[in-house]
Amino acid sequence: MRFGVCWVVLYLLSLASAGAADNRAPNKELYAGSLACRTCHPDIYSTFYRNPHQKTLVDASVPFEQQGCEGCHGPGKAHVEAKGDKSKIFAFSQKEPRQILDRCLTCHSNTLNRANIRRSDHTRADVVCSTCHSIHKSPTPKALLAKNQVELCYTCHSNVRAQFSMPFKHRVNEGFMQCSDCHNPHGTNTPTWRGGGRPRMVDQALANEEPCLKCHVDKRGPFAFEHLATRVDGCESCHIPHGSANARLLKRPTAFPLCLECHNGAPGFGANPALGVPRQSASHNMADPRYQNCTSCHVRIHGSNTDSRFLR
Mean pLDDT of 44-69: 91
Comparing CA positions, the residue from 166, 88, 179 lying closest to residue 132 is: 179
Work out the number of other CB atoms within 10 angstroms of the CB of residue 246. Answer: 17
Measure the CA–CA gap between 166 and 164, rounded to whole angstroms: 5
Q: Tell me, what DSSP letter sits at residue 26?
A: P
**What radius of gyration do the chain's Cα atoms show?**
28
Mean pLDDT, rounded, of the chain: 86
The CA-atom distances, in angstroms, between 184 and each of 36, 99, 101, 189, 235 are 38, 22, 16, 10, 18
The CA-atom distances, in angstroms, between 224 and each of 84, 274, 304, 310 are 69, 22, 6, 11
Residues 310, 304 contacting (CB under 8 angstroms):
yes
Least confident of 16-20, 125-129, 240-244, 308-312: 16-20
pLDDT value for 14: 55
Least confident of 12-26, 88-102, 274-288: 12-26
pLDDT value for 139: 93
Comparing CA positions, the residue from 69, 50, 53 lying closest to residue 139 is: 50
Residues 201, 243 contacting (CB under 8 angstroms):
no
